[in-house]
Structure 1
Amino acid sequence: MAAEQTRRTSSLPHALARRVGQGIPAALLRYRVMAWIVGVLLIALILVAVPLKYAADIGQPVSVIGTLHGWLYFIFFLVACDLALRARWTLKGAVLVLLAGTVPILSFVAERIATRKTRAGERV
């Protein structure tokens, strides 16, 4: 029993090392989809819901779109972190990509740059 536990523990770093870098195309697709969803919702929130709230005193779109954007940004955050780990992005690149999801239109620019660099095998 102890020998099996030792063997299983010692092979853990090797198994992790084999998995790093695998699944990048699928992780990249998940990241791209979530980046677009979050980007579109953020633009809808800023250009439609917020003006409706302050110009026409209709607050429901802000609460619905804002809540939806918040939850989906959390999923975007997890998906982007997964891709960053798989593709071995730099910490600076990963943080900038995550922050870009909070700025209208910048999320689309960051998605294009991250996609281009990741497909080329470069670190973001």
Structure 2
Amino acid sequence: MNETRVNRADTSMDDRMITSYRGVPFTGEVVDYAADGTMIELTSYQDGIEHGPQFEWFPDGSKQSEGQCDHGQAVGEWREWYPSGQLARYDQFNEFGDVLKTQRWNESGELIEDYTSTPPRRDQD
């Protein structure tokens, strides 16, 4: 029987950071729940490695963070929010997981960091 969504409590992680379910590297969604049963985290995996959409929610159900992983590397746009709903952080990664841009705001919405980087060059043969 193939599971597509399992509870994190039913998984294990080895010293190579591979997440397994029933002794096999897991492909699907791993979820965490608050004490009241509210889903507070959803992490996608492929063959035991974070791959795909990632989400976290505050206990009240409002979004805490979201992003995407590609074979264990953060890629694309990632966002984090304060419990008030105010955007707290924005990160942009290239396809290799290099940070291209980081912005942070305080709880009042004031931009307190705005960083853009030039990732290392990777020559394609």
Which protein is richer in strand relative to its size?
2
Greater Rg, structure 1 or structure 2? 1
Which protein is richer in helix relative to its size?
1
Q: TM-score range by the shorter chain?
A: under 0.3
TM-score, normalised with respect to structure 2: 0.20
TM-score, normalised with respect to structure 1: 0.20
